[in-house]
Structure 1
Amino acid sequence: MANIKIHFLGAAGTVTGSKYYLETPVMNIMIDCGMFQGLKELRSQNWQPLPIQADKIGIVLLTHGHLDHTGYLPRLVKEGFKGQIIGTAPTLSITAIILRDSAKIHEEEAEQANKMGYSSHDPALPFYTLREAERAIDLFQAEEKDQWVSLSDTIKYRFRFNGHIIGATFIELEILGKLFVFSGDIGRKVDALMDAPERPQWADFLFLESTYGNRLHPQENVEEIVIGLVERTIHEKGQLIIPSFAVERLQSLIYLFWNLYKKNRIPNIPIYVDSPMGNNVLSVFENYPQWHKLSMSEYKAMCNHVNIITSYADTWKTIDDPRPKIVIAGSGMITGGRVLTYLNQLIDEPATTVLLVGYMAEGTRGRQLLEGAHELKFFGKYHPVKAQVAHLESLSAHADQQELLDWLKEIKNIPERVFLIHGEPTALDAFRTKIRDSYRWNVHIPKLYEVVEIVI
């Protein structure tokens, strides 16, 4: 018999900060290494050292490149981790882009906070620097999907395609003959850019995301809604501002607007893409065509249809341009990024429309807008919200409750335990009940920093 300890170091009782640490008799493994976002009490956890020894971790396996799954990597290295960080090639490309961009934002925000004096810390420090991000990137090693990779005589893993974003996978990790399955973030059955996720056939211990564990995506007519927003923007001589994640969401939006124009459903309204990170992600789509649905001709046509902003000076030129326009800018939940520069100038204009796309986590400005906030705080000041706020939930890259249940259908055995992760409390509780009613499986909702011991 052998004991395996599982440490839930993130995305336990919340949707951010995915980090799972497995202590085994042979080696110690971390699955994902994300940073917390959203609520202040969660973000403050980022600054606390992990309750484990980073130098004892043998390897980190990444499901995909999003910040809430990778953003703690530079801190992990700073705390002493020296092993390999492994993912698929596009996942590591995305992660490198996100870490570099995040580091620059941390450095710029610290500099601005010190200059304007609105931080409670003196001096304000970046969460990590570009140099620290590069130290983590130096540890990257790519592996192919669908191929078992041995870490020892008794431990092996493989990556399986999972939709969601380019490069995303779920991880099958076999330890001493038992199969641990980490779902990562599960994509949609029908997606403009990604194929449907593959499904696991066996799982002794299942770690299952629950972002939409209590909801079904609405049956929205996305094209008609977007057409209406474009028509309003033109009629009001306003601006349609879309906060967007740089990975998959931004590319999906570009594809959507290009498709509508190609079908003569919208006029040739100027479209600006202002996300340095998103621009870099477009090159990942070009470098890994086998990971998405677009042909190269479609990819080039949709990129040529938009104006890609490459400098901060061009950001201000775009803001000063009085013509009606569409602006797609980072970040998706309005937690930072270029979109704040646009909102700083335009959120108090009734002719402005802010279109929120997908999931808005607790504590983010996106969630505040969604819930009808009359003002938003950023750059140390409160800004009145006079813009119209719209929401498209069906463009989410996350599976909804029914799609999550369908993802489980091909599992042939009864898992010994199912751990529900990456969800807010109401979603976790509703999904636990649904799984028990549907499959009669043993479901556990771990708490943050809980340690579960498994005897094999």
Structure 2
Amino acid sequence: MKIKFIGAAGTVTGSKTLVESNNGVRVLIDCGLFQGIKSLRELNWEPLPVLASSIDFVLLTHGHLDHCGWLPILVNQGFSGKIFCTSPTMEIAKLILIDSAKIQEEDAKKANEENYSKHEIAEPLYTVEQAKKVFPLFNVVQPEKIFGFDSEIKAVFTPAGHIIGACSISLFLEGKTLVFSGDLGRDNDVLLYPPIKPKKADLVFLESTYGDRLHPDTDPKLELEDYINTAFRKGGTVIIPSFAVERAQGIMYLLWELKKEGRIPDIPYIVDSPMGVGAFEVFFNNPKWHKLSIPDCHTMSNMFVINSDYEETLAAINNKGAKVVIAASGMITGGRVLSYLENYIGNPDTTIIIVGYQAEGTRGRKLIEGAKSIKIYGNYYNVRAKIVAINGLSAHGDQADLLNWLSELENKPKKVFLVHGELAAADELRLKVKEIYRVNCSVPLMGQEFEF
């Protein structure tokens, strides 16, 4: 058996792990887009180290862009096999792939019109039509039920928190059990249930996004209340960059509670995302995956104005009164949030609240590290807005959560690989895993291959 780390090794983006069985069956766990620093983004344009047509199956842990966003390219390069995932993951992946393609088409068009691309003609990484070609390949699996997809390979998906539909995946082949954590949520998430811990594993592939830190023991609801009321007193706008699915709904839930309790003002609360309505439908369609009742989903959504058309975005931008805007993307790498920042980041009355992990090289990371200016669509904008972070709203488990996820294994794994984390975070978690569980633990690098 061969394991090849094609993405999310030494970084948190571009998740792709290739498993090749002894009889030559190739299974790709996740197929994500690289984000962040330029050297990583450029990898999106490179072919895989194996032919796409030689991959037989793709198994998706969840529907975030860094786990499913490269699928259109995989299909364009010749993949024609089955893609297995849960029902909510399929719904989310369709929304995110179309949204990603639209953003890339719009960015390429804007670059060509305003002549700020280094290329003679800027091209999108993939188009909406190419994204749609992925959809017929999706196959829905039921969580916690073992299924066979090859004569010698079986798998089971188990809920992992993080976002709706997200799962860890156990792969059974050649008498071994390979467990891929995917992105793990938190035990105390406001909307989602805690991750289910694995019981048996020979090889473990564990995410390490927050492998070197613990989330603060603070009340994110109280922090939201304070930041919104402070901005309101100044007549300023609050901008919350957020992933459109689940993180946005988690923030909306807290805002809804604060509004019901009379703790935040009666001002416009806007969710600005082309897939905003679709994201709500995922919650309505999959009530068993989250803690909200359907009536609460409807009542909560009625508090917000959901902007789908760009004309609505422009109207919200031109309304200079106090307001709260939740806009994609979560790491400020693209999407509607850039239009708001173009107009508001230079205003000292603006508050920008960072609520999730910010990968190296992203605008979000630069802002929380104190950047004095940021580049948007070829132009630099001075940062005069107030930049704050609420770490308690992260969708990723922290070091304690990650270590706890391993706590119910009945056997000692032969090896634990730490993926989906920057090197410093992964290495600190490696030391903790070795100390607590006394297992062979390592941090693979991009392109490394192991044989078992």
- Give the TM bin, normalised by the shorter chain: over 0.9
Q: Note if contact 1:180-1:204 (Cα within 8 Å) is conserved in structure 2.
A: yes
- Counterpart CA distance in 1 for 2:181 and 2:167 is 8
Match of 1:306 in 2: 304
- Counterpart CA distance in 1 for 2:53 and 2:296 is 46
Match of 1:121 in 2: 119
TM-score by length of 2: 0.99
Q: Which of 55, 59, 69 is the equivalent residue of 1:61?
A: 59
Give how far 1:20 is off.
Answer: 0.6
- Counterpart CA distance in 2 for 1:176 and 1:51 is 24
Match of 2:12 in 1: 15
Task: Look up the SS of the partner of 1:430 in the other structure.
Answer: helix
Q: Which of 351, 356, 359 is the equivalent residue of 1:358?
A: 356
Match of 1:434 in 2: 432
Code of the residue aligned with 2:282 in structure 1: it is V
Q: Note if contact 2:276-2:308 (Cα within 8 Å) is conserved in structure 1.
A: no
Give how far 1:229 is off.
Answer: 1.0
Q: Which of 22, 27, 52 is the equivalent residue of 1:25?
A: 22
TM-score by length of 1: 0.98
Task: Look up the SS of the partner of 2:361 in the other structure.
Answer: coil
Task: Look up the SS of the partner of 1:276 in the other structure.
Answer: coil
Q: Note if contact 1:20-1:30 (Cα within 8 Å) is conserved in structure 2.
A: yes
- Counterpart CA distance in 2 for 1:180 and 1:418 is 10
- Counterpart CA distance in 1 for 2:293 and 2:240 is 25
Q: Note if contact 1:250-1:278 (Cα within 8 Å) is conserved in structure 2.
A: no
TM alignment of 1:30-429, pairs within 5 A: 30-429=28-427
Give how far 1:223 is off.
Answer: 2.0
- Counterpart CA distance in 1 for 2:203 and 2:293 is 38
Q: Which of 448, 451, 454 is the equivalent residue of 2:449?
A: 451
Give how far 1:278 is off.
Answer: 3.0
Deviations 1:229-274 (A, max 9, x none): 1111111111001111111110011111000011121122210110
Q: Which of 3, 12, 25 is the equivalent residue of 1:6?
A: 3
Give how far 1:416 is off.
Answer: 0.5
Code of the residue aligned with 1:8 in structure 2: it is F
Give how far 1:224 is off.
Answer: 1.9
Task: Look up the SS of the partner of 1:272 in the other structure.
Answer: strand
Give how far 1:279 is off.
Answer: 2.7
Stretch of structure 1 that moved more, 361-370 or 132-141: 132-141
Identical-residue share of aligned pairs (%): 49
Code of the residue aligned with 2:163 in structure 1: it is I
- Counterpart CA distance in 2 for 1:90 and 1:12 is 26
Q: Note if contact 1:154-1:177 (Cα within 8 Å) is conserved in structure 2.
A: no
Give how far 1:25 is off.
Answer: 2.6
Stretch of structure 1 that moved more, 434-443 or 17-26: 17-26
Aligned residues: 451
- Counterpart CA distance in 2 for 1:209 and 1:278 is 28
Unaligned runs of 5+ in 2: none
- Counterpart CA distance in 1 for 2:451 and 2:169 is 20
- Counterpart CA distance in 1 for 2:330 and 2:73 is 23
Deviations 1:285-344 (A, max 9, x none): 011111111001110111001111121111111111132110111111110100111110
Q: CA RMSD in A?
A: 0.8
- Counterpart CA distance in 1 for 2:150 and 2:200 is 21
Task: Look up the SS of the partner of 1:433 in the other structure.
Answer: helix
Give how far 1:78 is off.
Answer: 1.0
- Counterpart CA distance in 1 for 2:424 and 2:253 is 33
